[in-house]
Structure 1
Amino acid sequence: MKNFNLLLIFIILLSFGSCRSDSEIPAEITIDNTIKTGKLTGKVMSQNGTKPIGGASVFTFDEKYKIYYTTSDADGNFTLEAPAGNQRIHIQTGDGSNFRTQIAATVKNNETVNLNADQTKLNQVAKIAYVKGTYDKIEDIIQTLGYNATEITNADLANINTIAQYDIIFLNCGSRNYSVNQSLYPAIDANLAVFVANGGSIYASDWDVSYLVGGTDNTSNCSLAGGFVPDTKLCSKNTGTSGIVAATVNNAGLSTALGFNTVNIDFDLSSWQKITNYDPAYWEVLVKETSSNNALMIRTNHFTATGIPSTPIGNAPNSTFTTVCITLPGNIQISISVPTITVPYLVALGATVGPCSGSTNSGYIYYTSFHNHASGNIGNAGVILQYVILNL
């Protein structure tokens, strides 16, 4: 009888299970791993809102620190695909250490949100100085973009405590000349070496190649006394003649930022510095003569020297940002500045601390054989000088 009762209970339980409807059977749980994204569009403009800026980096990160990245075109326009939600958007030029903007934006899933012009202005975070020249006024272009620069003198260049306040120094053509107390030059050369080796950036034009390789108003021979760049790295001679020189933009990033790859440069002076020899492993050629391939615009961030003291330069000691190198799909490497607190997470994903190329601590040296004229006339080459300013 006991066995019969157990059998009856089993049959009853089985009948209950067979009466359950399909709707009562638990469904298989599906997890949606698709990241919801939307788009942000905008126009990168200079700080005063008057000039569009091409070649600017625009990016953000998702919660796992994956980067979403794009660049502005020659007219400053960009479209960034980003994760849906509240995001921190970064806009930068160069490696972001001198010019950058951060904005908060809400990205809507599968929608496009337009950022207004006030949000996408590129801000100056660098402290900028310039030395007044005779044939060149780069400060005019800086001011046209809405940025600020402080005039300093050669006597200031001879004082490391003075120039260490700045992140960028512009050396206008003709500022290093025979009327300057030449006893200052050894201190100037030594200080510029300290400045660049510790992350400061400089731009010199035409005759002011003498700050780099020695000499004064102009250099007519290689290996002159003075300067701080090794003589084996660069030679420039004062052999250029006046006239229009057809030039080619030799750097893809610069060409994209400008929107053109050929330009006629007006050399309005009777003579100018021709780059006659340079170390291609040390210098990158950005613009060259079309007919002869002679370099007209070069840059490097490979400067190193022994015995140079570690000296805090500009904003770097107080910055909450760090320069890192990130590799994008297609093995494209970009140097950007990110909040320092994010660095460990980005390194865990493969980023490296420091720029993607050059020496870790070196700032940039830009040199152009051309410049804006004393009258301000430079034609299309003016936008090349804007690029120089914003990418130091």
Structure 2
Amino acid sequence: MRKFNLLFIFIVLLSLGSCSSEVENPSQVAVDNTVKTGKITGKVMSQNGTKPIGGASVFTFDEKYKIYYTASDADGNFTLDAPVGNHTIHIQTGNGSNFRTEISATVKNNETLSLDAGQTKLNQVAKIAYVKGTYDKIEDIIQTLGYTATEITNNDLANLTTIAQYDIIFLNCGSRNNYSSNPALYNVIDGNLATFVANGGSIYASDWDVAYLVGGTTNTNNCSLAGGFVPDTKLCSKNIGNVGTVGATVNNAGLTTALGFNTLNIDFDLTAWQKIVNYDPTYWEVLVKETSTNDALMIRTNHFTATGTPTTPIGTTTTFATVCITLPGNIQVTISVPQVLVPYLVALGATVGPCSGASNSGYIYYTTFHNHASGNIGNAGVILQYVILNL
């Protein structure tokens, strides 16, 4: 009888041991109460140390590669529950490929570690370029955040080798102003921008510079114009917007969290602006819309694909990779992680690439409003800061 009891106990202990060695799937387990944890607090700031950044992803992993995740609030503050031990704390915006910071931290059981403001500044990883415009100066907003951008020209856009060294290109309103006088140049530019985005580069265009996307030049008054690289079926914009103040609603939860508000007034102080008259809702996500009419004022996509574009390395060489992880509650987040972690995260259910969109596509952001050289942009300025950090 005693031998039977000993054998039974041995089998039970063996089965318990095998269960404890399983790696937990973060999409299924919210909190493992058997894991000792502490808290990490901090405030995510831009590189200049004065602008708090809301909506930033803050996360770490335990020794079983389970993710511990939170996001900063509109004031940049965060509290992360983290497993005890020495860990790398990741702070990122967007998908983490262009702006991210890594911090080494030691977490102690039931204790709170407050990170210094100098540690939680968001670093620029990307190389950023901009084309000078007539009405915009997005480069001023980039600089006020403490980041850097290089001025390039339309002639540079016509050289794929030149633009391939950048991760992000900003197209200021009014920079595409002589298409009709040199269509051959702009046809090359349009092809290069298609290659740039199809291989992971991101661009932002405002107001009249929708012409880079759909063709034509400034004051685009018709759909299906010559030039551009976004299919005509995906977007149409006409220069029929009227001067005045427009009440707007933020239509994206992540943007609302980052801004801390979901309604604002946008001042269109020019006599005319590019009004979005038609768009494909399966291709574009509306981030900001006009409250009274539901017209789209700010859209983005990462669904761009183009047949025949060459495969070209774009941007900064990195040892990080983009993955999609499912959090408890079936919440999906796109983050960048060291490539050495990818196989382990995939084994837990993560997928390589973004959670939505084309696997290789960069982002295209378009706003009907812009950063006037006079600085008369009001709350739209904070939205443009979000654009910069989330491309």
Global fold match (TM > 0.5)? yes
Which residue of 2 is the match for residue 339 of structure 1? Answer: 338
Q: Secondary structure at the match of 2:59?
A: strand
Count of aligned positions: 363
Q: Secondary structure at the match of 2:126?
A: coil
Q: CA deviation at 1:86?
A: 1.0
- Unpaired runs of 5+ in structure 2? 1-12, 21-32
CA contact (8 A) 1:268 1:373 kept: no
One-letter code aligned to 2:188 = A
Please say if 1:67 is aligned against 2:63.
no
One-letter code aligned to 1:384 = I
What do the CA deviations read for 1:9-55 (whole angstroms, capped 9, x no partner)? Answer: xxxxxxxxxxxxxxxxxxxx999981100000000000111100000
One-letter code aligned to 2:212 = Y
CA contact (8 A) 1:324 1:336 kept: yes
What do the CA deviations read for 1:308-338 (whole angstroms, capped 9, x no partner)? Answer: 10000011xx210000000000000000000
Q: CA deviation at 1:71?
A: 0.2
Q: CA deviation at 1:92?
A: 0.1
- Unpaired runs of 5+ in structure 1? 1-28
Q: Secondary structure at the match of 2:322?
A: strand
1:73-152 equivalences under 5 Å are 73-152=73-152
Please say if 1:293 is aligned against 2:294.
yes
1:181-260 equivalences under 5 Å are 181-260=182-261
Question: C-alpha distance in 2, partners of 1:329/1:264?
Answer: 36
Question: C-alpha distance in 2, partners of 1:52/1:88?
Answer: 21
Question: C-alpha distance in 1, partners of 2:233/2:275?
Answer: 16
CA contact (8 A) 1:208 1:218 kept: no
Determine which structure has more spread, i.e. the larger CA radius of gyration: 1
One-letter code aligned to 2:96 = G
Question: C-alpha distance in 2, partners of 1:323/1:268?
Answer: 40
> Identity of counterpart residues, as a percentage?
83
CA contact (8 A) 1:157 1:163 kept: yes
Please say if 1:155 is aligned against 2:148.
no
Q: CA deviation at 1:377?
A: 2.1
* Runs of 4+ with deviation above 4 angstroms: 29-33
Which residue of 2 is the match for residue 284 of structure 1? Answer: 285
Question: C-alpha distance in 2, partners of 1:249/1:326?
Answer: 25
Q: Secondary structure at the match of 2:136?
A: coil
Q: CA deviation at 1:181?
A: 3.8
Question: C-alpha distance in 1, partners of 2:102/2:116?
Answer: 14
Q: CA deviation at 1:111?
A: 1.1
TM-score, normalised by the number of residues in structure 2: 0.91
Please say if 1:365 is aligned against 2:368.
no
Which residue of 2 is the match for residue 166 of structure 1? Answer: 166
1:298-313 equivalences under 5 Å are 298-313=299-314
Which residue of 2 is the match for residue 34 of structure 1? Answer: 34
Q: CA deviation at 1:183?
A: 2.8
Deviates more, 1:373-382 or 1:261-270: 373-382
One-letter code aligned to 1:231 = D
Q: CA deviation at 1:107?
A: 1.0
Deviates more, 1:176-185 or 1:153-162: 176-185
Q: CA deviation at 1:99?
A: 0.3
Question: C-alpha distance in 1, partners of 2:242/2:147?
Answer: 33
Question: C-alpha distance in 1, partners of 2:280/2:313?
Answer: 29
One-letter code aligned to 1:147 = Y
One-letter code aligned to 1:378 = I
Which residue of 2 is the match for residue 319 of structure 1? Answer: 318
Question: C-alpha distance in 2, partners of 1:89/1:82?
Answer: 9
